[in-house]
Structure 1
Amino acid sequence: MTTETRVLRPAEWDEWYDRLDLAFGGVPEPPEERELWHGLTEYDRSIGVWEGGDCVGTAGAFSFRMTVPGGAPVPAAGVTMVSVLSTHRRRGILTGMMRRVLDDVRALGEPLAVLTASEPGIYGRFGYGIASQELALEIDTERAGLTGPDHTDGVTLRLAAPGDVQDRCEAVYARRVPARPGMLTRSPGWERLPLLDPEAGRAGASPLQCVLAERDGETAGYARYALKPEWGPQGADGTVVLRDLEALDPEASAALWRFLFGIDLTSRLRVRSRPVDDPLLHLVSDVRRCSPRLRDGLHLRVVDVGAALEARTYACPVDVVLEITDAFCPWNEGRWRLSGDTKGASCTRTSDPAELSLSVRELGSAYLGGFSLAALAGTGRVRELRRETLGRTARAFLGEVAPWLPHGF
């Protein structure tokens, strides 16, 4: 049978989402989680592939603004809900959906598309490069001490119900967004996601808890977490499971970490995602007791080379002609002259000789400043065509802090 790809209709959402659930293992989500994603769905940006009356493929996008080097919030499509039924693989369905999604992103004038990958090996062929990493930690809090900066004791901590202080936490998050590339501005409705806490997903842990860091009555940070009590032959052996932590200054951050390290009846702190340059790594007495692990975070696709490279700033002056290859979005192919510095940039088509050659995938990896073009040259996919161009350009692309995405979608 032939297939039809079309924009999702509201009446089709349940079947569409059921197919997505099935493709991801078939375990139904808790009703409150399903209801949240139902409410966040942007129907005009969601597509389904139908064979007869059956949905066999799903994909969509959310309309975000993402911080880039220099602090500007840039329109970015959050590609999501991508699935193909196992019975319909190798029929070009995924490629067709990716084609449709990126064409729509371009039509909307969004220079970037981003995603988090359930299977990282899939998206490179569509021009996505790994643009950030995330750090997971399993901290032995009985053997890893923590030392905060001066005046950490001046921070007051207060326990509160997460829903009661949601506005305070969101205000802190909003102030943190411009400070780190890869962070997403919280659009209306998305403030519900950090508080999503279905009982079925707790794996034996407590309901979500929250602690505020305050100074002079003002909120300077927060941590949301759960406690998983466990007992062994030698007594209490519980785990603190951190959901998220944001702070406006080093003292508030250290105070929150110190609180999490010292919760009674616990001996471990489990942290799923932190930036790779998190100051915590320099506050702990023994980083080996933190068992740090790296994994890919944000995957980024440059949809409009000129607009994307003009949207960010550069760590030092750069003037270079880039030869971009992009088989999946051929409008990006060709030579581009990038001129910029810490104040801004221009990027326009040119007929001048190329000085660096790379694919749009490597450009996506370097875009947020977390991966060096010089390091990527070691793959053979970034080539220096004019001597001494690679080092200068690589330094210009690097960011002051590592990119990180703490906002799920």
Structure 2
Amino acid sequence: MTTELRTLGKDDWNVWYDNLLRAFGGASEPAEERELWQALAQYDRSIGAWDGDQCVGTAGAFDFRITVPGGAVVPAAGVTMVSVAATHRRRGVLTSMMRRQLDDVRSWGEPLAVLTASEPVIYGRFGYGLATHRLGAEIDTTRVRLSVPPGTDDVRLRYAEPADVLDLCETVYARRVPERPGMLERRPGWERVELLDTDRHRDGASPLQCVVAERAGGGDGDGSDVVGYARFRIKPVWGPGGAEGVVALSALEAVDPAAHAALWRFLFDIDLTAKIVAHRLPVDEPALHLVSDIRRCGLQLKDDLYVRLVDVGAALRARTYQAPLDVVFEVEDAFCPWNEGRWRLSGDPKGATCERTADAADLSLSVRELGAVYLGGVSLASLAAAGRVRELRQGAVAEASTGFLASGSAPWLPHGF
């Protein structure tokens, strides 16, 4: 390989970003969106591969903080904007960028790297394991009804301009972050991503709309407290029988079951619509327990967040475990050899220790499997049944699998990056 890797400079941004867009098909991007990603870009955490004066590869890493089982929020490198020019495939460009990037992440003291993959086949060889899924849904609201919990009628809903209530919605979001593994703390500027509303985002639908849920007795000065919100667009559709509009749900967060149900009921009841489409719901979405006919909700499971343990010891110490465990892992990690070897993990719901050991191993696995189970949404037992984890001490799989599973909500990534 004759390419050179170097940290991104501000003067290189446009060439670097144009290379990224070309690698993803070359479609133009609205100026508003491009300017926002440039504002969010962290140049000292981004690298480019250069062949002379031509950019042929890109990779970035946002400084995120992600919730892990137990509620702690842990530093994580949000790997993003990865591309290789079609003219330079199979020359080691991607491998060299992944090598450089993981070395950098380790030097920054961040125990985790996370990403969403355009092509899932790519990142397993670099130690990333599939840790969360998301649900897509197409709910036929002409045939499906909701059964809402007590207190739903006590929640008041009102329309608001999305930008006008952004701070209130962000407060709700922040309350939700510690409750579910996989959620990201909103770093400065990232709230603006939630309001992107270009023609590409609309895809023939209305401008972004917002409804907030309020309950009396709050402390915001008008006697009410914002307890949830929904952002959505309406796409008018007319068929032979009349209106068949689509509600395109962008985001919905609520702090309690009644507010959650009130928002979903509102979406179901919007006039001139026949369908709700959502592309990013948690696999344990509560609304699915309120519907009258699950088969008419058009559910589709998709892979989402991939997790890579950059520092095995620090990462496993950062989370808690829902049942006591004391297990020795034999970890394989050829790409980040500092992780290889035996690690003793001792933990329970209160905390954990994880240190190197010379004791006999109980389980053998690669760092990829550790990444998959890290947020508690994937079972070690299922990986063992697939032959991806080897049990060296009888009973060790059951012990470790129970401990690793999330004790509350399923892990979920609330937005892409």
Normalising by the residue count of structure 1, what TM-score does the alignment of the two structures yield? 0.99
Tell me the residue number matched to 2:279.
272
Tell me the residue number matched to 1:88.
88
Q: CA deviation at 1:407?
A: 2.4
Tell me the residue number matched to 1:306.
313
Tell me the residue number matched to 1:135.
135
Cα shift readout 1:317-337 (whole Å, capped 9, x = no counterpart): 010001100010010000000
SS at match of 2:390: strand
Q: Which blocks of at least 5 consecutive residues in structure 1 are unaligned?
A: none
Q: CA deviation at 1:379?
A: 1.7
User: Residues of 2 paired with 1:212 and 1:288: CA distance?
Assistant: 29
Tell me the residue number matched to 1:67.
67
Tell me the residue number matched to 2:232.
225
User: Residues of 1 paired with 2:256 and 2:374: CA distance?
Assistant: 27
Tell me the residue number matched to 2:241.
234
Task: Decide which of 382, 399, 416 is 1:408's aligned counterpart.
Answer: 416
Tell me the residue number matched to 1:41.
41
User: Residues of 2 paired with 1:357 and 1:2: CA distance?
Assistant: 38
What amino acid maps onto 1:385 in structure 2?
L
Q: CA deviation at 1:225?
A: 0.1
Cα shift readout 1:94-129 (whole Å, capped 9, x = no counterpart): 000000110000000000000001111100000000
What amino acid maps onto 1:408 in structure 2?
G
Tell me the residue number matched to 2:221.
none
**What is the correspondence of 1:8-157 to structure 2 with a 5 Å cutoff?**
8-157=8-157
Tell me the residue number matched to 1:4.
4
Cα shift readout 1:250-298 (whole Å, capped 9, x = no counterpart): 0000000000011000000001111101111111010101010000010
Q: CA deviation at 1:199?
A: 2.4
Cα shift readout 1:309-366 (whole Å, capped 9, x = no counterpart): 0000000101000110001001000000000100100000000000011100000000
- The answer to whether structure 1 residue 246 and structure 2 residue 248 are counterparts is no
- The answer to whether structure 1 residue 284 and structure 2 residue 291 are counterparts is yes
SS at match of 2:231: strand
Cα shift readout 1:41-95 (whole Å, capped 9, x = no counterpart): 0000000011111000000100010000000000000000000011100000000
Cα shift readout 1:112-158 (whole Å, capped 9, x = no counterpart): 00000111110000000000000000000010101110110000000
- The answer to whether structure 1 residue 348 and structure 2 residue 348 are counterparts is no
What amino acid maps onto 2:342 in structure 1?
R
Range moving further from structure 2, 218-227 or 378-387: 378-387
Cα shift readout 1:155-182 (whole Å, capped 9, x = no counterpart): 0000000000000000000000000000
User: Residues of 2 paired with 1:379 and 1:328: CA distance?
Assistant: 23
Tell me the residue number matched to 2:179.
179
SS at match of 1:371: coil
SS at match of 2:361: coil
User: Residues of 1 paired with 2:326 and 2:197: CA distance?
Assistant: 49
What amino acid maps onto 1:374 in structure 2?
A
Tell me the residue number matched to 1:368.
375
Q: CA deviation at 1:408?
A: 1.9
Cα shift readout 1:237-259 (whole Å, capped 9, x = no counterpart): 10000000000000000000000
User: Residues of 1 paired with 2:80 and 2:153: CA distance?
Assistant: 43
SS at match of 2:345: strand
User: Residues of 1 paired with 2:384 and 2:199: CA distance?
Assistant: 47
Q: CA deviation at 1:3?
A: 1.1
Cα shift readout 1:177-198 (whole Å, capped 9, x = no counterpart): 0000000000101110000111
User: Residues of 2 paired with 1:32 and 1:126: CA distance?
Assistant: 33
User: Residues of 1 paired with 2:56 and 2:177: CA distance?
Assistant: 37
Q: CA deviation at 1:2?
A: 2.1
Q: Which blocks of at least 5 consecutive residues in structure 2 are unaligned?
A: 217-223
User: Residues of 2 paired with 1:18 and 1:378: CA distance?
Assistant: 44
User: Residues of 2 paired with 1:306 and 1:206: CA distance?
Assistant: 48
What amino acid maps onto 1:341 in structure 2?
D
SS at match of 1:183: coil
User: Residues of 2 paired with 1:385 and 1:304: CA distance?
Assistant: 23
**What is the correspondence of 1:290-329 to structure 2 with a 5 Å cutoff?**
290-329=297-336
RMSD of the alignment, in Å? Answer: 0.7
Tell me the residue number matched to 2:341.
334
SS at match of 1:173: helix
